[in-house]
Structure 1
Amino acid sequence: MSRYSDDAELAAELADAADAITVERFRTQNLQVTAKPDRTPVTDADTDVEDAIRGVLSGRRPGDGVAGEERGGSIAAPGRVWVLDPIDGTKNFLRGVPIWATLIALLDGGVPVVGMITAPLLGRRWWASQGGGAWLRDSAGERRLSVSRVPQLADAYVSTTDLNNWAEHRTQEAYLSLTRACWETRAFGDFWHHCLVAEGALEVAAEPVVNPWDVAAAQVLVTEAGGRFTDLDGAARFDRGSALSTNGLVHDAALAHLRRR
């Protein structure tokens, strides 16, 4: 049993609270939308979810820090810090595409030790805790996750988020070099392709630009499923601005295409 089992149970309660808000607000006509300085949208559903989670944490874990996409906070604070992305995939949420999720992670000493990803319109919830394995619940029930055993890129499925991001934040040629080495390419994007790596459905998920709250939960999910998670330069960190999830077997080969030249 993981030493963080109680925290994982609390993360499930937080996910339930988030789902109650996001499901009710999805495809409603009265969303209030503003743009952040980076031009990404934020809705009042985002802020309502984060506020609800913070409210529960203030009563249940008053000594823990909280860092959220919408309300701020420091992931570098000492001790335990909950990291929140109330709606990952806000653009999908706004356009009526049902691929979005609430991401919840717990850091202990700066290391993700609990991850919870809940995507209610997909009917799927993924979670993991350090030493407790990675899990999925969907319409087929609950099962423990394990990454694929595909040993080489030539047989691998690879996914990214937005190809244009590679031109702005890395190089498109680096990613295209990787895709040419792989069997199939997709663009599932955001939280979902990291979850698919943990499930064993994909071998590689690569993103040239991420925020810490985008991938903290994914790091513990992928690693507990037996995979490997780093930034695009090979550091096993979620807070360096990029992300690479793999089944582990093809990780170094993928990095060889994606490292800065």
Structure 2
Amino acid sequence: MYRNSGTMYFQFGGVEPLPEYEARQFLHHALHVRSLRIVYSNHFHLLSVLPNETCIFPRLLSLSTDQDLNRYLHLFLSHTLCRGVLPVTHTDLISVSARCAALEELSIKSSFRNIAADGQVLFDSIRLCKGLVALVCPPLDWTTWEHLSNLPTLRTLEIWDDLCPLVWCNLNIAPFLDVTRLYFHTRTAAYIVAVTQHLEFSSLNQFEMDVSRLPWAEAELLFHALSRYFHTLPSPLNVTIP
């Protein structure tokens, strides 16, 4: 273990799993941890002595990881967790929504590995979230958009990739009254066009998109859909297209 600029770093090498008395000491000190970033996940076996349902950091507010935590995810799901940054749509993602009622920020900047299975897990999980302020995730279906339109807390939406095509269905989706920032990172503009054609963002003041390929036909549809925002919004719309 070493310290740098107020941050503690842990390195494990050739260490056996914690004996029971050291595990109790570890859990005692873990009570004071509020923010955690996990870069490597190949040493979780050191915690094998802990009960399966133990949350290691019961007062954790922020969890960020570059690794798929697999069967260890539950160890970090505190009831106080407000911010979660995950690398993929975890198979047990729904447990994050179910256990972390205080969750305000959820970020998953990745594509679906399995569109049908991962998509359903993501949609079901987001629909359990009642207080999201910022959401970053792979593309959503219309039913999940409908759920989000009824969240008064939501301010920021970022959609990464576009592997889930949107075919319009007649849902009663309310205007997004409080969303101020909308960002898309996609291969084409088709998903963006579908969203901007059918959804209303009455408080939007920042629109950004990063599109790999933008043929003229899609560009024309996109700017036609965006044009209504320039006339109806109470403040100027900042549009960024790299």
TM > 0.5 between the two?
no
TM-score, length of structure 1 as denominator length: 0.26
TM-score, length of structure 2 as denominator length: 0.28
- Structure with the larger strand share: 1
Q: Which has the larger radius of gyration?
A: 2
